[in-house]
Chains A and B, each alone.
Chain A
C-alpha cells in the first residue's frame, strides 16, 4: 500500500476508521459459529460466553480510565452518556438544588441537554473560556452557588483539541460536594485519564473516536463516594438499572478491544502523531496571516485548528477536494453561524469563517502531511488572489475601519 492514500483523511476527531484488530474481535460475536448469545441469558453456555466477553470489555474500558469495571455503564455513545449523566444527576439531586455549571465551548450533547434542563426549571451558568480555550478555575469557583449540584466540563475540546485541567476542577467540586461530569469523548488514548486522581464522578466515553465502532459508548459512574443518577431509559433493569436494553455484545467487544489497544499503544502513537502534527504546522506557519485557534501546549497531539485570514473556510475546503478536513465556517453548517467554539474564544467572525480543523490519527503518514501542506498553500494562495479583503490588507486598509453592509 502506498503511503499516500487519496483522498487524505484528516478528520479523525469526527470519527476514526475501525482498527482491523477491533473489526476482527467484533465479527467473532455475530454468527452462529461466533459468540452471538445474549449476555443476560443466565441459563446456558451461549449467555455465559457472551457475558464473559462483556466482562472483559468492561475491564478494558475501566483500565484505561483507572476505574473499577463495576463503574462502567454501557450506552449507545457519548451523546447518550452526556444525557444520562447530566439529566440523571440533575434530576436525582434536584431536592438539593437546581443549578448547573458548564462551559460555552462544550459539545452540543452537553449544551442542548442543559437547555432542556432549563426548560424543566433548572438554572444553568455557561462559563466563557479564556482566549486559549481553557477554563479559568477561579471563574468556575466564583460561579458555584449553594444550590449548584452538577458541574460539566469536557476533557478535550472536539474543535480545537485543548485539554482542560480536569484534576484542578475535580479537586474543587469534590471539596464542595458537587457532582463533576466530564465529557471525555475525545480524550481516551490521547491524554492519560485517572478518574480517582482527577476526582471525576461521571465520565462520558465512546468508541468511534478511538478506532472502535459507532453506536457504542459508556458512562463511568463513581461508586465511592457513591454517585446516583436517575435512569433515562427504562426496561429490563440492565446495567444495575441505570440503562436498560439488551447489551450489544459485538459493539461492546469492539469498544473494549479499541480501548485495550489505545491503552497499550498510546505513548508510542501519541509521539508519532504529534510529530506529524508539528510537521503539518511547520509547513504552514510561515504563511502570512495564519492563526492557531486554541492553546498549542495544552492540546492533544493530533489536532491543528488554524485560521487562514481573508480566505473563507468552505471555499478553501472546496479547493482541497483530495483532503478531508472540517471547517468552522458558517457555510459548512446549516445555521449560517460560524463556529460557536471559536467565537467563545473571542475570535472575530472573520477568523472563525476562515478556520480549518485538521485532525491526524493512527493511519496518517508523513507523505499525506506533505501532500496536505502543498495543497493548502496552493489553495490559500489562489483564494487570496481572488479575495478583495486580501487586496485591501495588502494595500494597508484597516478592515475594521470599513463600514460593511452586514446582510
Chain B
C-alpha cells in the first residue's frame, strides 16, 4: 500500500502528541473508536478565556492514516473557536492527506474525535451544544 507524502510526514513527525489533564475545566477530551476495530483516537483541546482553542493534543492507536488524520486535526483546530472547530468536515482531512477510499473511515473518526472533545468541554462548562451538523460517515 502506498502512502501519500503528507501521511508519511505526519506519521513520522506527528504534531502535538501528548496528554492534558482531563479534569481541567478548560480541557475537553474526546475518545473515539474501539480497540477491536483497530483504531482508537484520543483528542484533547484546551480553550482560553475567549473560548478559542489554544492547544490540542492527541494519541492514536491505529494505522498510519489514522495517526496522520489525528495529527492533522490538532493543527487544524488550534486558533479556532469551538463553533469553527465543530464545522471541520472529514473531507477536508481526506483531501489534505490524499487518503484513499479504504482509509476514509480514519478521517471520519478524526471528525468524531473533534465533536466528542467539544461536547465534553461544553458539558463541563454547562453550555448546551448548538444543533450538531450530521457527520459525513
Determine whether A334 belongs to the interface, using a CB cutoff of 8 Å to chain B.
yes
Using A386-B17, A388-B41, A407-B34 as known contacts, say yes or no to A315 and B62 having CB atoms under 8 A apart. Answer: yes
Asked whether A318 and B34 contact (CB < 8 A) given A388-B42, A388-B60, A389-B40, the answer is: no
Instruction: Write 20 A-B pairs (CB below 8 A) sorted by A numbering.
Output: A312-B39, A315-B64, A318-B63, A331-B62, A349-B36, A350-B36, A386-B17, A386-B60, A388-B59, A390-B61, A391-B19, A404-B36, A405-B32, A405-B34, A406-B36, A406-B37, A407-B33, A407-B34, A407-B105, A407-B112
Q: Which residues of A contact B39 (CB under 8 A)?
A: 312
| Interface of A toward B, CB cutoff 8 Å | 310-312, 314-315, 318, 329-332, 334, 336, 338, 348-350, 353, 385-391, 399, 404-407
For A315, list chain B residues within 8 Å (CB).
Answer: 11, 62-64, 66-67
* Residue in contact with A331 in the complex, picked from B17, B63, B108, CB distance below 8 Å: B63
A399 to B109, CA, bound (A): 19
Chain B positions 33 through 60: 1 when the CB is less than 8 Å from some CB of chain A, otherwise 0 = 1111111111000000000000000011
- Chain B residues with a Cβ under 8 A of chain A: 1, 3, 11, 14, 17, 19, 31-42, 59-64, 66-67, 102, 105, 108-109, 112
Task: Knowing A334-B102, A407-B109, say if A391 contacts B34 (CB, 8 Å).
Answer: no
Decide if B38 touches A386 in the complex (CB within 8 Å).
no
Q: Provided the pairs A404-B33, A406-B37, A407-B34 are in contact, do residues A314 and B61 lie with their beta carbons within 8 angstroms? A: no
A318 with B64: in contact, given A386-B17, A391-B19, A405-B34 (CB under 8 Å)? Answer: yes
User: Across the interface, do B59 and A312 meet the contact criterion of CB distance under 8 Å?
Assistant: no
A338 to B63, CA, bound (A): 13
Minimal beta-carbon separation of B117 from chain A (angstroms):
13
The smallest C-beta distance from B7 to any residue of chain A, in angstroms, reads 9
The residues of A that contact B61 with a CB separation of less than 8 Å are 310-312, 386-390
Given A334-B102, A350-B35, A405-B33, CB of A385 within 8 Å of CB of B62: no
Residue of A312, A336, A385 with most chain B CB atoms under a 10 A cut-off: A312
Give the CA-CA distance A330 to B103 in the complex, in Å: 12
Q: Is the CB of B3 within 8 A of A388?
A: no
| Centre residue among B3, B19, B35, B38 by max chain A CB count within 10 A | B35
Residues in A whose Cβ lies below 8 Å from that of B38: 312, 329-331, 336, 338, 349, 353
The CA of A329 and the CA of B37, in the complex, are separated in Å by: 10
Establish whether residues B35 and A399, one from each chain, have CB atoms under 8 Å apart when the complex forms: yes
- Inter-subunit contact A386/B14 (CB<8 Å): yes
Q: Which residues of B contact A385 (CB under 8 A)?
A: 17
Bound CA–CA A353/B37 (angstroms):
8
CA A387 – CA B62 in complex, angstroms?
8
